[in-house]
Structure 1
Amino acid sequence: MDLSQIPLFAMLRGRLGYLSQRQQVVAENVANSDTPGFAPKDLKPFSFQAQMQAQARSAASVTHPGHIPLSRSQGGAVSGWNPVTQRDSETSLDGNSVVLEEQMMKLSDARMNYDAAIGFYQKSLGLLRLATRAPGR
């Protein structure tokens, strides 16, 4: 059985994909911290409701066994977050509004959430292994 067919693992996979993409967006912000006129971007917060709607759309798109299912990159749970421009608290004279301290806080937040999701994923895998083990082993 594919783990992505289990809703819990599909949600965790979506969350990990979101956090990975957020880390990339924040890294781009930091890389452009000296670019005149650059406005930092961030992803909209991860929401359970949006994740469920994305999975319902991808599941509902296959209505016949002969249809080809959409891949995750074509509208599934993993790719669906578009960066939006969000100015930080300060703007320099050259128009750049990246504040490195705020970006480092976002990066740290993404890292902590990623570590928590990985820990939950590993614990869930451990429970599945325990459930599939023969009694008395």
Structure 2
Amino acid sequence: MGIADLPLLGQIKGRLNWLDERQRVIAQNVANSDTPGYAARDLNQPTDFAAALRNGAGVRMARTSAMHIAPQGQQARFESAASPDSETTLDGNSVVVEEQMLKMSESRMAYDAAIGIYQKSMQMLRMAARAPGR
């Protein structure tokens, strides 16, 4: 098994690929910010906790100790509120450059965090592979 086959590094690689693609989509939105009729796009999160709970109907809260608070309902409930992604101008363009810059900043911070985790993981692997006493 090679280093690239480690699950953690595979997940980091997947996250970096998703962030790279999101940056591309955001850049495309900014490039088309003056194009009449252009609708802003964004990628969905690769993992959505609420969706995972909805899809896994068998997931239930359980009281495993008498000291735990009793669950109000047997199923965890999440409610989502619809919020407009952005404004639409008179020419039909829905790109708000400020929102796109915020999304780009969020993606950059997530990218930096993933790179940091990758670097720390590689440091730990090097340390584990090193001969004792070196």
Give the 4+ runs in structure 1 shifted more than 6 A: none
> 2:106 aligns to what?
109
Structure 1 distance, partners of 2:120, 2:2, is: 17
| Equivalent residues of 1:88, 1:99 under 8 A apart | no
After TM superposition, the structure 1 = structure 2 runs for residues 45-56 of structure 1, keeping only pairs within 5 Å, are: 45-47=45-47
> 1:43 aligns to what?
43
- Whether 1:2 aligns to 2:26 is no
**Structure (1/2) with the larger helix percentage:** 1
Measured after TM superposition, the shift of residue 48 of structure 1 is 7.7
Give the counterpart letter for 2:27 in structure 1: A
CA RMSD for the aligned pairs?
A: 1.5
Structure 1 distance, partners of 2:48, 2:120, is: 20
Structure 1 distance, partners of 2:41, 2:92, is: 15
> More displaced, 107-116 or 2-11?
2-11
Query: Among the aligned pairs, what percent are the same residue?
Result: 60
Structure 2 distance, partners of 1:28, 1:22, is: 10
The structure that has the greater radius of gyration is 2
Instruction: Give secondary structure in 2 for the equivalent of 1:41.
Output: coil
After TM superposition, the structure 1 = structure 2 runs for residues 9-28 of structure 1, keeping only pairs within 5 Å, are: 9-28=9-28
Measured after TM superposition, the shift of residue 47 of structure 1 is 1.3
Q: How many residue pairs align between the two structures?
A: 100
Segments of structure 1 that go 5 or more residues without pairing to the other structure are 50-86
Segments of structure 2 that go 5 or more residues without pairing to the other structure are 50-83
